[in-house]
Amino acid sequence: MSTARAIPENSTPAQLDQLCVNTIRTLSMDAVQQANSGHPGTPMALAPLVYTIWNRVLRFDPENPIWPNRDRFVLSNGHASMLLWSALHLSGVQAVNANYETLGKPSVTLDDIRCFRQLNSKAPGHPEYHWVSGVETTTGPLGQGVATSVGMAIGEKWLAHSYNRPGFEIFDYNIYAVCGDGCLMEGVASEAASLAGHLGLDNLCWVYDNNHITIEGSTRLAFTEDVETRFLAYGWNVLRVGDANDLERIENALDIFRKTNGRPTFIVLDSHIGYGAPHKQDTAAAHGEPLGDEEIRLAKRSYGWPEQAKFLVPEGVYEHFAAGIGKRGADAQSKWQQLFDAYRAKYPDLAMEINLLERRELPAGWDRNLPVFPADPKGIAGREASGKVLNVLAQNIPWFLGGSADLGPSNKTTLTFPGAGDFQSDNPGGKNLHFGIREHAMAAIVNGLSLSKLRAFGATFFIFSDYARPAIRLAAVMELPSLFIFTHDAMGDGEDGPTHQPVEQLASLRAIPGLITLRPGDANEVVEAYRYVMQLRHQPAVLALSRQPLPTLDRSNYAQASGVAQGAYVLADSPSGNPEVILIASGSEVSLAVQAHENLLAEGIRSRVVSMPSWEIFEHQPQAYRDRVLPPSVTARVAVEQASTFGWERYVGTSGHVVGMKTFGASAPLKELQRKFGFEPDDVVRAAKRQLGTK
């Protein structure tokens, strides 16, 4: 640990404050220079802000960084990650493992900062949730952090309404998010800000680093709107701090935020990127480049810093943070724990629920009363079955909630049981979330709710998963059990045409590491899909559900739908169990494959039907199981799916055939589309016979 005295003994509080600010700045400069990669300018400019939030304002216990009632800090302009690594290190935040145990070692060490952006360092290039304790969400793509913070704010409001009791404010934390011009240019931030204003989330504060510069140059090139007026129109309380170096004015603005009721707060902070770097503040500092040794030396001189010192944490800095956030956080956490102990004694059932949700566990009997659908050749749509399951789960799991991007009646995601209610500013305990037509923000908000330890879902048409995909990817990166429900999964909305007929979406989502994608084939497979995904603790899931009715298979003749838990299973087989040809299908094409199978059996051809709702789950099964389902010796294979054929060769082989989509569909009634694109039983039978070398 490098220590030295950079100011005289008996320093004033203001001098200690400035010493800490400059420590953040110089650590950032040194780390970026040593890595020869990164963004020094924003950390230099925003060091006073981050210091003020962390050491003067934030209710956060460094010794217990997962304390449920802690304030949340989100660095949405995540390229400035050295701000966060410096704050975590100087505050002495402790590391926590996956079992929620404090490890007795720092979350971020000075050596981690020395190894900024290097392999295995706890100071990566952008904040990474679950890699580093004290990081509340992964922020990389601009706008995601602030959008996710809206989910965190909704989560706190729901938790407070649901669990607080008179004299027991168990949840009353705030969310602070720092953002830049890039975040505010991204549409996802606008979507989220609009919803936050509508909901009156007065526990949410965004601080906007108004530095007038982006990578290409001045914001005058492309961003000249009146941001303050925009946020006033959204219904936010808008404040302005004209000097990013004025700690007192920053703290005063944050104090006004905490006293503001009924509106989120937006603070415009006028800053100068690369503060203290006299020659390159508008070039390298802005463009994500190291300043260079000479520029760093001059900047340190302007701070009154030892010019040759590197990674210097002067004497008194750690102590000053310990006396600030350390003492304040420990006191707040201790008082909260005493309150919670008394709460547990008076409300043991509610306390148990809080403990379960904080550990991402489910209550006893969470899957009781799930429907079992009788065999029915007319069947029920996947979305209809889903709606019935959601209404059971939301009653069995108190902290399960969600909604659609303005499509609840069509997605069938509306929770209709007594007391479900709509989440609004005057009813923050409602379980039906109304995201409006904001698919991207919806997915980010679902992630924010999941980060708040609620089980949350968001829904829309499958084609619009494209709009939600960036946040879905981040759910996988963060290993969150977010749930995304997509209906109208193929050509079932026929007349709407190619713009509403998903083709490549399944392949795209299957390509995301860590994401579970399920396309169930009938109502009972829908039930089992939910049974599987609700038990996930560290993986997000996508359900792709049909608009149109699917035959409910007679499970006395076919295998049980519980096979969904293996990702793929033998649904129907030849009497001998020795197939000549295997038909593999998902979703609405499962019943099509079953019809083709029966036709083949009638002709004396030994056929097997494999229902494969999830590639990812199937790939996690033991090789022996996979070989039983898809025997390597049977190379005559046909896959059937109303989607892109991309990727199916892994299951049918290079000589197999895929009945799939090679265009974007068309506008017509469903039956005509099925005929045009070859999704009828005779098409599958012919493909199977070709595989066997027969006509």
Query: How many CA atoms lie less than 13 Å away from 104 in the CB half-sphere?
Result: 0
How far apart are alpha carbons 371 and 373 in whole angstroms?
A: 6
Instruction: Specify whether the CB–CB gap between 569 and 559 falls below 8 A.
Output: yes
Does residue 374 sit in helix, strand or coil?
coil
How far apart are alpha carbons 630 and 627 in whole angstroms?
A: 5
Exposure string of 43-77, with b = 16+ CB inside 10 Å and e = fewer, is: bbbbbbbbbbbbbbbbbbbbebbebbbbbbbbbbb
Does residue 468 sit in helix, strand or coil?
helix
Question: Which residue type is seen at 334?
Answer: S
Instruction: Specify whether the CB–CB gap between 45 and 37 falls below 8 A.
Output: no
With 0-12 / 13-18 / 19 or more C-beta atoms within 10 angstroms meaning exposed / middle / buried, residue 621 is middle
Q: What is the DSSP letter of 373?
A: P
Q: How far is CA 409 from the centre of its chain?
A: 25
Question: Which residue type is seen at 2?
Answer: S
- CA Rg value for the chain: 28
How many C-beta atoms lie closer than 10 Å to residue 672's C-beta? Answer: 14
Quickly list H helices, 260-326: 284-287, 293-303, 317-321
Is residue 439 annotated as part of the catalytic site, yes or no?
Answer: yes
Query: How many CA atoms lie less than 13 Å away from 175 in the CB half-sphere?
Result: 34
Separation in Å, CA 86 to CA 133, 150, 478: 13, 25, 22
Separation in Å, CA 376 to CA 387, 529, 601, 621: 18, 19, 22, 31
Please give the structure tokens belonging to residue 265: 């707060």
Nearest-10 Cα torsion for 173, 178, 184, 187: -50
Q: Which of 186, 439, 589, 616 is catalytic?
A: 439
Instruction: Specify whether the CB–CB gap between 492 and 501 falls below 8 A.
Output: no
Instruction: Specify whether the CB–CB gap between 60 and 90 falls below 8 A.
Output: no
Instruction: Specify whether the CB–CB gap between 556 and 649 falls below 8 A.
Output: no
Instruction: Specify whether the CB–CB gap between 396 and 371 falls below 8 A.
Output: no
How far apart are alpha carbons 443 and 631 in whole angstroms?
A: 39
Instruction: Single out the residue of 583, 627, 575 nearest to residue 609, CA to CA.
Output: 583
β pairing state of 376-381 and 549-552: antiparallel
Give the max Cα distance, the chain.
Answer: 96
Residue with tokens 């098409």: 683
- Residues known to be catalytic: 439
